[in-house]
Structure 1
Amino acid sequence: MSEEKIETLVYEPNQRENKSISFIWLLPLVVLGILAWIGYESYTKKGTNVSVIFKNAEDLKEGVTPLEYKGLVLGKVTKIEINDLNSVKVNILVNSDVAKYVATEGTSFWIKKPTISLTKVSGLGTLLSGNKIELYPKYKTLEEYENAKPQYNFTGLDTKPSLLEDSDGYYVNILSRGEDLIEVETPVFYNRFQIGEISSKEFKDGKVYLKAYIHEKYKYLINKSSQFVMNKALKVNFGPGGLNLEVSSLYSAIVGGITVETPIKDAQKIKQDKYYILSDDKKEFIERTHINLKLTDAKGIGINTLIMYKGVEVGKVDDLQLTQNNIIAKAYVYKKYDYLLSENSTFHIEETEVSLDGVKNLNSIVSGNYLTIDYKKGKPKDSFEIVNSSMEKVDNDLIITLKTQDLNSITKNSKLYFKNIPIGKVLDYSLSSDLKHVNISLLVKEKYKKLINNKSLFYDMSSKLLELKDLDLDINYTGIKPLIDGGIALVEVDRKAKYSKKSFKLYSSYKDVQTLKREYSHGSYLNTYFDNGFNLKVNQAISYKNQEIGFVKSIKFSEEKSKVKLFIYKKYVKYISKKSRFYKKDAIKVDASLGGVLFEVDNLSSLLYGSLELDNSSKTSFPRYEIYSSYDDMKNFSNTISILFDDVEGLRQQFSKLNYKGVDIGKVSNIILTPQNKVLVKVQVFKNYDKFSKEGTIFYLKKPKVSLNEVKNIGSTILPVDIGVIVSNKNNFKNSFTGYDSLEEIKQVDNGEIIRVASLFPTKLNVDAPIYYKNVQIGKINKINLSGDGSKTLIDCFISDKYKHLIRKNSTFHDISGFKLKFSIFTGTEIETNTFTSILKGGLLVVTPIKYGGMATVNDTFLLKKELNEDWEKINPSIK
């Protein structure tokens, strides 16, 4: 076996030079770079922490509540913690880019809360996010901030700082004497128009100092003569003089605020360091003359007791001082009335009286006395003695005797009244010698004794309030005071009669003397007639313009028409003419409308049976005098218009009105269904009958209508439908008409014109859709109908009078209903529309060419165009 030689082969490796670094080693470097950048950004934008101490943290939230300045968010609350038992510490992270403006000495912080009132709404965003923190920086320029010292701990303010002043405004100082109804942002009004608001409030030295911001454009309204007064709905003052209530407007009750009045428009401006005085009442600014009044007994007189002259307030009592022998009242009279303070003038104490006849001294709801001045010319004087108004006997007074069966509630304090004015009083009373009646000694003051003569009648005002006898109700009422204290009334019959007797009979009620008064009266008899369809009564009163002018003397019954004899008092006979008529006036009248309920009650003597009223409004004469059952019945006899309708749904007899330009000029008196199934409506015209009874006058039903454009006659949805009227210019008389169901059915209207437009294609138009000219509404669509053959749509367009000259014979009408959507990949999406109303209801656009033709008339018909040329906005004719 041959021996083989085995040789080991070793290969030499290929060596290549690595010329670049692998990409994988760059990735860690990129990551490190990003982390470094993020860390840098986080560090630089971390912000600056400041802390503010507030009294409470109401509605502040960690991580939510922002720090703001003029609506810009500068930071956010990061932490809220208790500082001590009376305050909280709020940590705020301020954005780094504004930190130098915030964390600087002098910066003010306060909590902003929402404000909602009738005059201002602000901070509504806080309703969802909670309250905000507002700041006001001390400095205004960058140079000031470069030199400012940093500060990181602050004490928050309770309210918006007084330093927060707007350079575009005018500021005035106001001093309030302890008034606690004024807060920051309380509005300041001039003639009920807001011209500013209270910007700050500060309490020191027991007084309230206010600063008011006045808008720049209104600062001319404020000068030295300006007066600032609180708006109050109700002012209450109670004292010995009674309870004084002063009621302001409902507006002041809701809004409140301060009102400024400037009587001298060209007065100088007030200096910035001077203060206006905030008053509770503008009367405090009126100049006064001070006086002293001496009383032996205050008798209910106290601070704020009124001083009156002829029912007008001329002053008040300021203070009362008790001396050893008398009471001195410090009082004042307004400067313009100081002529009343003469040496011959006297002051009297008068009692406030409340009765069903009325309220004397309405300012005092609770009984209280007041002062009156009896003025006589003389030299000026500033000190007076007050004279009690109760009457004392003097030598020239008249003493008479009254005889009565029963004294009732008459006492020595009872007074004698004439037309509810005291003219005397009861001095004494005693039984007659035969013990059958009572003798009353009565004093009549000297200046009134000429009212007493042989025909004078007296009755007891206090004997009975109500008496029912034989189903006849007698109401004896002349006021509360005579019923309580007793009272006697004098009834004047004939002032020219002689006076000789000293004794008179005292009747128990006014009804007893009423018949005698009529018997004593002079006058004439008048024969009248009525149809027996209503009740008349002997002695029933006849009135004219709220004055009794006579009474029913007798009634002679007849089956057809009864004859009534009237007695007319002599001084009123001159008002009776051939044009006179009479109607029975209801005792109670009720008239309801959206404006409220009118409730009228006639005088008490006719409460049960009403009275007869004389009417002289007719322009025509009558063959004899007639009495009608009511005012409406009388008017229906002459001033009635007949209107024929197809349907009168909603119309109500005696309630529906005839309305012309918003004024009720008549009412529906009767509704009748005719044999032709039409409805005949009788309308009574109150006045100006000739104006509405003309040929061509148009009547239509004013039915309720609610649309996007308008709300009309909405009251008719609750109350009866009314009838509208369009007056004709013609002169021919006419009182029978055919009415329209609505205003839309009328071709001619009093404030515009109807233009006919025809469309050959379906439209999206609706009634009341707007009609535009250069995007200004000039009318609306009144009615839409199909033509007789159904080939086109006929559109009646109402054009207002002031725009109808824009519609020419060559004008074009275009349908702009809905909206158009254009979509393109390259140019995007474009939506064209006119108004939201035109989307829902449709609309028309009118274009009149530069070379326009004559004015369109109601006889012209225009063809509706579907497309609108793109250059229509450039067509701009000057139309005259």
Structure 2
Amino acid sequence: MSKDLIKEDELKDVVYQPKIEDKKSVSFIWILPLIILGILGWIAYESYMKKGTKITVVFKSAEGLKENVTPLEYKGLQLGKVTKISMHEDLKSVKVNILVDNDVAKYVASESSEFWIKKPTVSLTKVSGLNTLISGYKIELSPKFKTQEEYNQGTFKNYFEGLDSQPNDELDDNGYYISLIANDKSNIEVGTPIFYNKFQIGEITAKEFIFEKVYFTAYIYDKFNYLVNKSSKFVINEALKVKYGASGLNIELGSLYSALVGGVTVVTPDKNEKKISKEEVYVLYGKEDDLKNKEYFTINFADVNGIEEGTPIIYKGIEVGEILEVTLNKNNLNTKAYVYDEYKYLLTKNTKFFVEEPTISLDGVKNLGNIVKGNFISLDFRKGDFSNSFNAINKKDLDKIGNTIKVELLSENLNSISEKSKVYYKNIEIGRVDNYALTPDLKNVKISLLIDDKYKDLINNNSLFYDMSSKLVEMKSLNLNVNYSGIEPLLNGAIGLVANKKDEKLIKNEFKLYSSYKDVERLKRFYNSGFTIEADFDNSFEIKQDMAIVYKNQEIGFVKDIKFDDKKSKVSLFIYSNYKKFITDKSRFFKQGIVNFKASLSGVIFEVDNFSSLIDGSIHLDNSSNVDFANYKIYSNEDEMNNSTNSITIVFDDVEGVQENFSQLTYKGVNVGKVKKISLNENQKVEVQALIYDDYSSFAKEGTVYYLKKPRISLQEIANAGSTVMAVNIGVIKSESLNRQTKFVGLENQPSVEKSQFGTVFKVEDVTASSVNVDAPVYYKNVQIGKVSKIDLSEDGSKVVVDCLIYDKYTKLIRKNSEFYDISGFEMKFSIFSGTKVESNTFTSLLKGGLVVVTPYEYGEIANPKDKFTLVKTLREDWKSISPSIK
């Protein structure tokens, strides 16, 4: 049997045991549908819950609202969303459907809810709601209920009327809120700041219009609550205050912030009063003036222009009240006015009201304020019983009612006098012209004046009146008369008063009106008591009768009489008694001309005397002389008078460049006199007559040196350059002599002296002239201690003598064994082995030359001007190392 058959039989006999396993009763596959079913149920629940509650709000406009975009919010928390916007049945408004989340529906769909549209707010005071610029407008919820209990008791509501603006209920319950009502037109808006003493303490939070009245809600910041109470008053800020007063137009501008945003100011007179409750309503005044208590009265005007509501009432430049109402009747103008309580005392039966009008002239503008605004009301206050009804008068009539005295003038001609003309005393207004008329014989004009009572003592029997305006310039017989007292008298005419003998009483009331002040001045002089002195003059100039005599710009007399003689004339001078003490034996006189004019390249002299002398000139008194005079004399001018006592004579060979009146005498750079006259004498020398200004005796001494300060111009130096185009001056070197001398011989150049006002002169000798020039510097250790003042030959001509002027502070450095070295130009040394060497001290010494002083360590006694020094050409090599301490 084959092997395959055996294996097959074996296989048929094998029996396998079955494997038994336990199986679960429920399969996992059935759990999955249950999970899905649960998820679907949750989604259905969530969908139902999020479906929300629908409400409808009616607004006047849906501007800025968008479906499925615009949210409903409360304090930043989103409560729902706008789902539909449609037209309302009344066709005047829109319906906005809002889907409110169910979890807050209880609070939204309630009778306590109010809705308003929140828009962006951008102003100068605050910025809010800027996020709405991006996301669009929002609808805000404003609930009235504040507790859960109120909501539980409230009823469901889903239809609402939207508000136009944020309601007051949005305000914080704990805040300090005040209700205000405007009593005037106002530009106050929500956000307007509230100020106390110009510091912000709160703001306007709400504005409502109820029964044609504007109501505001003001919020005061917590830390400033104590500043506002029942005594407080509220007034709108006036950014621009315009006042019209007697002084003109007054414009006051507040801060820029107030000018732009406005504001409300709080005034609290009593800090201890109680706080204000929100239910109380306070008046918001339109201007600060409304806070003041007023007294009301009436004024009737018979004939007036420019009076209207708001016309101010001004007393002594202060606004005391205002015209409130104006009513035009058939015969007059009736007005209702007020004054502040503090000025109530002005309302008396004797008080007169009148209208002030603007006055324009070349002298200026009066009452500028009413040029812009119109006329204003002024008043003349007189004590009396209280009155609240007045009849206004013309201002001109006021002068007649007031305390005045009447004076009448007679004139040949009215000239420029008018009813606007005023009366002046020393340019002060003391009265005015009341009226004028022809006299009964028709030959003269009678002018009536009203003089204020307080000036009545100025009027007496010797009073003189003159026309200030009739003739501006008058020339008669080559005699110029100028009459000028200002622009006002020229335009409106004016009358001047000259008061005399105030102790006399007023008996007459009629005076003559003179045509000019000059006529009055001549009469006035004879009212003065005084005495007469005689004086001589040489006929080289003219003196006129009535010329004023002046001392220190004060008229002390006049020329009373002239006795002419062909050789020497005599003048009678009348001196007023008050000035007798100024006439002494040392007195002398000179004529002050009308105009003194001299000119040259050196300058211009232009002198004009005072106004009285501008017509005729004047005679001036001088008491500056120390010399007694036997007789009084009048000189042609001041210089001639001074020349008679304060002049010297200097004789020169040549005075080229010296000019009369412009060449000065100079001492240490100060002008001490001037050249008055240049002439040739019998020896063909030039005599210069010079005037010494002050301290004459110190310059008129024996030994005083006068020399010409001529210009020096060269490559090396420039000195006295001004004299090349200006007048050449004369230098002075004082003398210590006590002997007096008035005539001197002048030198062409500055002389060589041992001692001058600048220092001490030391003489340095040299065999030949060096490169040193006049004014070349003298150095000590490279510090200039002096200069070369003169270079000349010795008396025998064998040597050159250089005068070295050493300044006073350095003279102690010059010792008897000091050495003077010439450092002028430069020195060149040439050597094949060492090369070329060029040495120069300074640029100045290169051009002008110069000297160096070297004092050895073992220095000798202090040198004196009589010591002689020899100039050394080459500077010793060790000069820099020589440095003694000289005491």
Q: What TM-score do you get using the length of structure 1 for normalisation? A: 0.56
Q: Which amino acid aligns with 1:700?
A: Y
Determine the C-alpha separation between the residues in 2 that align with 1:699 and 1:294: 72
- Say whether 1:678 aligns with 2:685: yes
Determine the C-alpha separation between the residues in 1 that align with 2:361 and 2:523: 31
Match of 2:310 in 1: 324
Match of 2:871 in 1: 864
User: Alpha-carbon deviation of 1:841?
Assistant: 2.1
Match of 1:624 among 624, 627, 631: 631
User: Alpha-carbon deviation of 1:412?
Assistant: 1.8
User: Alpha-carbon deviation of 1:820?
Assistant: 2.0
User: Alpha-carbon deviation of 1:528?
Assistant: 1.5
Determine the C-alpha separation between the residues in 2 that align with 1:636 and 1:825: 74
Match of 2:585 in 1: 578
The answer for unaligned runs of 5 or more in structure 1 is: 1-289, 305-319, 333-341, 362-387
Deviations 1:751-803 (A, max 9, x none): 11221111124522222221111011111222222335543322111211111
Q: 1:492 to 1:835 in 2, by over 3 A?
A: same
Match of 2:453 among 441, 446, 459: 446
> What SS does the corresponding residue of 2:616 show, helix, strand or coil?
coil
> What SS does the corresponding residue of 1:444 show, helix, strand or coil?
strand
> What SS does the corresponding residue of 2:619 show, helix, strand or coil?
strand
Q: Which amino acid aligns with 2:310?
A: Q
User: Alpha-carbon deviation of 1:828?
Assistant: 5.1
Deviations 1:340-363 (A, max 9, x none): xx99xx9x99989877xxx999xx
Match of 1:406 in 2: 413
Deviations 1:682-721 (A, max 9, x none): 1122222122222232222232345688755433222322
Determine the C-alpha separation between the residues in 1 that align with 2:867 and 2:589: 55
Match of 1:507 in 2: 514
Match of 1:792 among 791, 794, 799: 799
- Say whether 1:661 aligns with 2:668: yes
Q: Which amino acid aligns with 2:438?
A: L
Q: 1:791 to 1:602 in 2, by over 3 A?
A: closer
User: Alpha-carbon deviation of 1:460?
Assistant: 0.6
Match of 2:576 in 1: 569
Q: 1:479 to 1:706 in 2, by over 3 A?
A: farther
Match of 2:756 in 1: 749
User: Alpha-carbon deviation of 1:846?
Assistant: 0.8
Determine the C-alpha separation between the residues in 1 that align with 2:668 and 2:503: 53
Q: 1:515 to 1:761 in 2, by over 3 A?
A: closer
> What SS does the corresponding residue of 2:645 show, helix, strand or coil?
coil
User: Alpha-carbon deviation of 1:570?
Assistant: 1.7
Determine the C-alpha separation between the residues in 2 that align with 1:762 and 1:553: 72
Task: Map residues 289-300 of structure 1 onto 2, 5 A cutoff.
Answer: 295=244, 299=248
CA contact 1:293–1:328 (8 Å) conserved in 2? no
The answer for unaligned runs of 5 or more in structure 2 is: 1-238, 254-287, 290-307, 319-341, 347-355, 367-393
Task: Map residues 361-440 of structure 1 onto 2, 5 A cutoff.
Answer: 392=399, 395-440=402-447
CA contact 2:649–2:688 (8 Å) conserved in 1? yes
User: Alpha-carbon deviation of 1:647?
Assistant: 1.8
Match of 2:496 in 1: 489
Match of 1:7 in 2: none
Q: Which amino acid aligns with 1:427?
A: D
CA contact 1:429–1:441 (8 Å) conserved in 2? yes
Range with bigger deviation, 663-672 or 812-821: 663-672
Deviations 1:723-770 (A, max 9, x none): 222333333222222222233555532111221111124522222221
Deviations 1:447-471 (A, max 9, x none): 3221111111111111011112222
Q: 1:352 to 1:651 in 2, by over 3 A?
A: farther
User: Alpha-carbon deviation of 1:419?
Assistant: 1.7
Determine the C-alpha separation between the residues in 2 that align with 1:775 and 1:593: 44
Q: Which amino acid aligns with 2:742?
A: N
Range with bigger deviation, 529-538 or 454-463: 529-538
Deviations 1:821-851 (A, max 9, x none): 3455665543211011211222111101111
Determine the C-alpha separation between the residues in 2 that align with 1:293 and 1:417: 35
Q: Which amino acid aligns with 1:671?
A: I
- Say whether 1:815 aligns with 2:822: yes
Task: Map residues 131-142 of structure 1 onto 2, 5 A cutoff.
Answer: none
> What SS does the corresponding residue of 1:876 show, helix, strand or coil?
coil
Match of 2:606 among 576, 599, 604: 599
> What SS does the corresponding residue of 1:637 show, helix, strand or coil?
helix
Greater radius of gyration (CA)? 2
- Say whether 1:609 aligns with 2:595: no
> What SS does the corresponding residue of 2:560 show, helix, strand or coil?
strand
> What SS does the corresponding residue of 1:716 show, helix, strand or coil?
helix
Q: 1:633 to 1:303 in 2, by over 3 A?
A: farther
Q: Which amino acid aligns with 2:583?
A: I
Q: What TM-score do you get using the length of structure 2 for normalisation? A: 0.55
Determine the C-alpha separation between the residues in 2 that align with 1:697 and 1:748: 13
User: Alpha-carbon deviation of 1:474?
Assistant: 1.7
- Say whether 1:700 aligns with 2:686: no
> What SS does the corresponding residue of 1:652 show, helix, strand or coil?
coil
Determine the C-alpha separation between the residues in 2 that align with 1:778 and 1:296: 73
Q: 1:603 to 1:450 in 2, by over 3 A?
A: same
Match of 2:330 in 1: none
User: Alpha-carbon deviation of 1:871?
Assistant: 0.9
Determine the C-alpha separation between the residues in 2 that align with 1:784 and 1:651: 25
Determine the C-alpha separation between the residues in 2 that align with 1:554 and 1:761: 75
Match of 1:691 in 2: 698
Determine the C-alpha separation between the residues in 2 that align with 1:350 and 1:852: 91
Match of 2:486 in 1: 479
Q: 1:688 to 1:498 in 2, by over 3 A?
A: farther
Determine the C-alpha separation between the residues in 1 that align with 2:358 and 2:773: 71
Determine the C-alpha separation between the residues in 2 that align with 1:779 and 1:352: 70
Deviations 1:628-657 (A, max 9, x none): 111112112111112222221111223322
CA contact 1:772–1:844 (8 Å) conserved in 2? yes
Range with bigger deviation, 433-442 or 500-509: 433-442
Q: 1:619 to 1:297 in 2, by over 3 A?
A: closer
> What SS does the corresponding residue of 2:773 show, helix, strand or coil?
coil
Match of 1:770 in 2: 777
